[in-house]
Every structure is written in C-alpha cells, then in structure tokens.
A = this chain, B = another copy of it.
Amino acid sequence: MITKLTELLGIQYPIIQGGMAWVSDSNLAAAVSEAGGAGIIAAGGRETDWVKNEVCRAKKLTSKPFGVNVQLMAPNKDEIVDMICEEKVAFVTLGAGNPIPYISKFKQAGIKVIPVVPNVKLAKRVQDSGADALVVEGMEAGGHIGVQTTMALMTQVIPQVDIPVIVAGGFADGRGVAAALVMGAAGVQIGTRFMVAAECSVHPNVKQKLIAAVDTDSVVTGQLSGHGVRGLKNKFTENFLALEKQATPQDELNRIAAGTNRRAAIDGDVENGMVLAGQCLIPLKEIEPVKTIVEAIMTEVRQTLTKASNMI
C-alpha cells in the first residue's frame, strides 16, 4: 500500500507506533518496523543515556526505519536532540512543546521531522516551518490529550495542509485505518493496541487490565485544568477525580499524579498507578506478536476498502 507516509519514510504500511512514555522501547519499536510499519522509541521521562542505548539496540534489531518521540518540555531535551542528530534515526515525532526551533537542526542531520499538533493553526505553522509531516491526535487517545477528536481533526486539518497528515487516537482495527485513509490521512499512529503486543515490555498486569477493559473503561483526569490525561478507570483515577471536583489546588494535584504512569507501566500497580490507554479497548482481545497485529489490521484495511468500492 502506497501513501504519502509510506513514501516519506520508505515503509510498507501506513502505520506508525505511538511513542508511549515508559512503554515504547527498542523491542517494541524494532518489532513494529520489522512488521512493515514504523516503530518509535519514547524519550519522555527517560535519561539521555537510556534513549541512546535503546536507539543503538533498535539498530541491531532492525535495518528498517524507526523513530524517536521527543517531549519538548523535558529538562534534557537539548541533550536528547543532539544525541538523535548524531545517531541519525529515520525520523522524530515532537510533542509537548514548540517544535519549530528544532525543525532545521533535525533536517540538517537528515532526520525527518513530524511534529504533533492540536489544531489547524499549528498544522499550518509547522508546515510553513519545514516539517516533513505532522501528527494530529484525537482526544480518544491514551496519555496526554488535547480537546479535539480524531473525526474533528481529520475533517478540519487534512484539507488545510499539503504535507502528509498522520492521525492518532481511536485506531485499533483495520476499519478505522481504512476510514482515516478514505478521509485523506497519509497514515495512522496506533498506541494502545501495541501495548498488548508480545514484544511490548509494559508490565503484564497492564496487559491483562487492557484485555479485560471495555469501551466505557477509560476516563480523563485533568480535563478542567486543560491538562487532560486518559487512562483506565481505577482507584487512582476515582480518587483523583474526586479531588478535582473539590477544586484541589493544581500543585497538589500535580504532586499526586507524579510518577503514576511509571507505577503502572513498570511496577504493575494497576490500581494506584495511572494505566494510560485510549478509548478503543474492545479490540484488545489477547497478547499477540506485533507482526500478527499489523497483518490483521492491514488485511482488514484491504477488506474494508474493497467493500467501500462496492458502495458506489
């Protein structure tokens, strides 16, 4: 399948894997790249050395293109940017901060730059600043989210820019990927579905909780303060939302939330940690190799597009 994304990155399928903090490492990224998509190592919350090691490890695991997701509010962001420019991964996705000052540096190093943007205005701005593609992420995604949904972003952003638009949030099967392509997306970014991949090193308790979850099991904390984070309903989110309703000061809320992603993802405490996950949970039925997941999705994409062609 050829799209503007497969051409840009030189990959087989229009699927990139979400850069999930404390989850997306060299194992998962290399597996997704080997399966024909493009994997991503998440630098968020990590030491620069850890990211460098993972990049080197991924290079040994696959000769195919993979990327790094950089959180631009991280204290070590400049160190990480320098390291990536030396190590020369295929592409970066840039979130949580202003990507524009970094675009030319990455491009000079021969690295494709794909900022994550929340609206039409910023989509146009990163295009004008030389971004190679962009990601728009609907608020059905897991982790830190904006306010627009995937359908609203696809409707409004795609017609306004010429560079490839990758859509994230709510994609867990081939029907969704087909719908995004039909709307003019160059590809999709999939996060939560890859958390139940065999190659994903997230704690097994998280995988089991994701597999057991249904459509109504995610919830957003921090929405009223403009710092929405989506994860699975549990003891932590119940307590946190109760504190939000009581107008608990933001500093106190930040203190309580700190470290809770790691507590779930690494330590496996899926009740007192925050299990970051998107809204599409029913398609997560079992632990499967990445290749099986990607092939199942792409088979369904082709079936769905074939059905669509019969509608006319």
Contacts and interface: CB of A to CB of B under 8 A. Distances in A.
A178 B155 CA distance: 11
Interface string A269-281: 0000000001111
Copies in the complex: 2
Contact of A305 (B138, B171, B311): B311
Q: How large is the interface on A (under 10, 10 to 19, 20 to 34, 35 or more residues)?
A: 35 or more
Contacts of A160: 282
A245 interface: yes
Interface stretch (A51-59, A81-89, A145-153, A194-202): A145-153
A184 B176 CA distance: 10
B149 A170 contact: yes
Interface in A217-248: 219-220, 223-225, 241, 244-247
B169 A151 contact: yes
Contacts of A308: 178, 181-182, 305, 308-309
A140 interface: yes
A301 to B, nearest CB: 9
Interface string A126-144: 0000000000001110000
Interface of A: 1, 119-121, 138-140, 147-158, 160, 169-173, 175-176, 178-184, 214-216, 219-220, 223-225, 241, 244-247, 278-283, 302, 304-309, 311-312
